[in-house]
Amino acid sequence: MALQDIKENIARDIREPVLHICQSLVDRLAAMRPDQLQRLTYILLADFAQTRPDDDVFQSALTALTTIKHNPLTLYFVFYDEGEDREIAISASEVMQSVDEAVFIHPRTGEEIENFTGQLKPVYKASQEFVNALVPANGR
């Protein structure tokens, strides 16, 4: 799927006022290198969209871009592993399962982590389909 097709799909399935934020984000992301698209924070994306991270329409735009057919973005979480001084990526579905079960297990040590909700940070990454669409568009 070409980048233009992804954009046309967004224009077809999303309405204002959400649409223009989605288009701003996609245009901005499309100008980046694939390796820059793997850890996109709320504040970075909000900055791209020139809005506040807690804005309801911005939130709806993120929902649209992560759920639409040919979704450009995927939500995931990162957990900071102090022992190895690195972040560990965890799928959003696993995290929500932890929320529902009120249990989070350290992905490396297997220990239960207390107060885990404060230690998981939401970030976004470009979907593989979006990255693939960028290669012919950007020649990267």
Partner 1 sequence: MDGETTLRDMLNRAYNNTAYDVQLRMQSADTHEEILKQLERALALAIGHLVKNRKYKQDQSEDALTTDIVSMLNMNGIPANHDVKIGGHTDISVEMRDGFLWIGEAKNWTGKAWIFKGFRQLMTRYATGLPGQDNGAIIIYFDQEKPSDLMSKWRTSLGKLTEFTGDIVEVNELQFNSAHPHKGTGRTFAVKHYGVPLYWNPEDN
By CB under 8 A, name the binding residues for partner 1: 12-15, 18, 41-44, 53-54, 56, 59-64, 66-71, 75, 77, 91-93, 95-96, 99, 116-122
Residue that the structure tokens 């999303």 belong to: 14
| Nearer Cβ to partner 1 (13/81) | 13
Q: Is 32 exposed, middle or buried (0-12, 13-18, 19+ CB in 10 A)?
A: middle
| Minimum distance from residue 68 beta carbon to partner 1 (Å) | 5
Shortest Å, Cβ 121 to partner 1 = 6
Mention every residue, 6+ apart, whose C-beta is less than 8 A from residue 29: 37, 40, 48, 72, 73, 126, 130
Task: Give 82 or 139: the residue with its C-beta nearer to partner 1.
Answer: 82
Q: Which is nearer to partner 1, 122 or 136 (CB)?
A: 122
Number of Cβ within 10 Å of residue 100's Cβ equals 8
Structure tokens given for 23: 């288009």
Residue 88: CB minimum distance to partner 1, A: 14
Give the nearest distance from C-beta 139 to partner 1 in angstroms: 27
Q: At what angle do helices 128-138 and 18-30 cross, to 10 degrees?
A: 60
